[in-house]
């Protein structure tokens, strides 16, 4: 198994409303996205980081989550037939500026002809009571096309802060093992 950095981008001064990786080749086995990010917006402790594939804005996504946080939010949730896949909580402008949220999202067999499943683990922990959240998410895209682009954005139209980093990796399975028939 090997990892290859496909592309990485860092948000500049002024922030960004979305980050898109386009023209992703189908040559890897899986995709893995590593994110270190936060939002600019004052008044917000956190917000969901959403994903869309291949510019699909239709109600073709499903997602669920388990989370443990200091804000008494529901510890679990599920949404089906949504227009985006919510995959990680990212801290907002009300949290100290030095704290970024961390997320790892993996998309196995992204170029297969089956519907796509994804999972994520994520966390952000600041230095005050109740200023934390961590969890896992899962999601699916009911489309059999190979994924060639991924767009990340806030569910509530917040903007990514300067120095937020998005890195897209390709994971390739090794040649070992056997196929059972």
Partner 1 sequence: MALTKIIVNCETGVTEVVELTAEEIAQLEADQAQAELDRQARETEAARIEALKVSARAKLVAGQTLTADEAALIIG
Question: Which stretches of the chain bind partner 1, using CB under 8 A?
Answer: 6-7, 9, 11-25, 41, 43-44, 71-72, 156-159, 166, 168
The smaller minimum CB distance to partner 1, of residues 25 and 66, is found at 25
CB 49 within 8 A of CB 89: yes
Alpha carbon distance 140, 152 (integer Å): 15
Q: Give backbone dihedrals phi and psi of 91, rounded to 5 degrees, phi first.
A: -65, 150
The smaller minimum CB distance to partner 1, of residues 9 and 79, is found at 9
Could you give the angle at the alpha carbon of 39 between the alpha carbons of 150 and 46, nearest 5°? 100
Nearest approach in angstroms of CB 98 to partner 1 is 22
Nearest approach in angstroms of CB 9 to partner 1 is 5
The smaller minimum CB distance to partner 1, of residues 1 and 42, is found at 42
Instruction: Supply the DSSP symbol for 161.
Output: P
Nearest to 169 by CA among 61, 36, 29: 29
Nearest approach in angstroms of CB 7 to partner 1 is 5
The smaller minimum CB distance to partner 1, of residues 29 and 142, is found at 29
Nearest to 37 by CA among 178, 171, 180, 153: 153
Nearest approach in angstroms of CB 100 to partner 1 is 17
Nearest approach in angstroms of CB 89 to partner 1 is 14
Q: Give backbone dihedrals phi and psi of 54, rounded to 5 degrees, phi first.
A: 50, 35
The smaller minimum CB distance to partner 1, of residues 3 and 71, is found at 71
């Amino acid at each position: 198994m090997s990892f290859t950095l496909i592309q990485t981008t860092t948000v500049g001064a002024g922030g960004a409303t979305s980050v898109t990786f386009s023209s992703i080749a189908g040559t890897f086995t899986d995709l893995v996205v590593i994110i270190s990010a936060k939002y600019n917006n004052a008044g917000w402790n956190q917000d969901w980081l959403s994903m869309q594939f291949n510019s699909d804005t239709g109600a073709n996504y499903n997602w669920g989550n388990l989370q443990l946080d200091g804000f008494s939010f529901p510890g679990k949730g599920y949404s089906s037939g949504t227009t985006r896949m919510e995959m990680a909580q990212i801290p907002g402008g009300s949290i100290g500026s030095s704290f970024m949220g961390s997320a790892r999202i993996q998309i196995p067999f992204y170029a297969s002809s089956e519907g796509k499943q994804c999972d994520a683990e994520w966390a952000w922990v600041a230095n005050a009571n109740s200023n934390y959240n961590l969890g896992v998410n899962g999601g699916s895209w009911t489309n059999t096309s190979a994924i060639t682009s991924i767009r990340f954005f806030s569910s509530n139209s917040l903007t990514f802060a300067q120095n937020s980093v998005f890195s897209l990796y390709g994971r390739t399975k090794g040649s070992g093992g056997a196929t059972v028939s």
